[in-house]
Amino acid sequence: MTRREKQALIDKGHLLPLMEEFYTIQGEGFHKGTAAYFVRIGGCDVGCHWCDVKESWLPELHPATETSKIVENAVKYSDIIVVTGGEPLTWDMGPLTEQLKAKGVQTHIETSGAYKLTGQWDWICLSPKKMKLPTDEIYEKAHELKCIVYNKDDFKFAEEQAAKVNKDCILYLQPEWSKRDKMMPQIVDYVMANPKWKVSLQTHKYLNIP
């Protein structure tokens, strides 16, 4: 297969740069504590300086893998498949989710929303970033909004994002891991003063699991 042919298949979502895949416990947000199979797709140009998986940014570092093989492996482990990244919406998620839904599993995505929403999703976790804001369409479809709090200015950004999502979207504030000791007391106070928000923790890191 030539490089051009391979890129054409990637562009159509039939091949995806697969960084890693693993069966674990969902650590964040609404589904925390739930067993799920994670598929981490490489490729992201949003550029969060505090990103804890910067090795996911360059798609060429990760093998272009047949979508059908990803599906075949994932459904062996769980009926909840979480697609994350990187930024998975960099790529067309249609073929992946179509095949997953054909297997009767639930499809979840964790995304910044910076690119066009593709795919069929049972749960959309929108985690917007200041550097590259979400597309308008995803605000109406997001099931949960997860805003990362790195400093005090992030509370203002979180409110701006909350004003754009649909009325049923669950709102979460989550401390950036390296700032958790400093920001957690502020988040607790903020949620108590603004109870439309909930606290999200990266419980998988406390549990020392993937």
Task: Give per-residue pLDDT as tens, 143-199.
Answer: 999 999 999 999 999 999 999 999 999 999 999 999 999 999 999 999 999 999 999
Q: Is 125 one of the annotated binding-site residues?
A: no
Task: Give per-residue pLDDT as tens, 54-96.
Answer: 899 999 999 999 999 999 999 999 999 999 999 999 999 999 9
Q: Is 50 one of the annotated binding-site residues?
A: yes
Q: Is 127 one of the annotated binding-site residues?
A: yes
**What sections of the chain are H helices per DSSP?**
3-11, 67-74, 94-102, 136-141, 153-162, 180-193, 203-206
Q: Is 17 one of the annotated binding-site residues?
A: no
Q: Is 78 one of the annotated binding-site residues?
A: no
**HSE-up (13 A, CA, CB side) for residue 88:** 29
Q: Is 187 one of the annotated binding-site residues?
A: no
Q: Is 84 one of the annotated binding-site residues?
A: yes
The whole model's pTM is what? 0.95
Q: Is 210 one of the annotated binding-site residues?
A: yes
Q: Is 59 one of the annotated binding-site residues?
A: no
Tokens of 80: 């909840």
Task: Give per-residue pLDDT as tens, 42-56.
Answer: 999 998 888 888 899
Contact 20, 40 (CB under 8 A): yes
Q: Is 25 one of the annotated binding-site residues?
A: yes
Q: Is 169 one of the annotated binding-site residues?
A: no
The structure tokens 């297969």 sit at: 1
Q: Is 167 one of the annotated binding-site residues?
A: no
Q: Is 27 one of the annotated binding-site residues?
A: yes
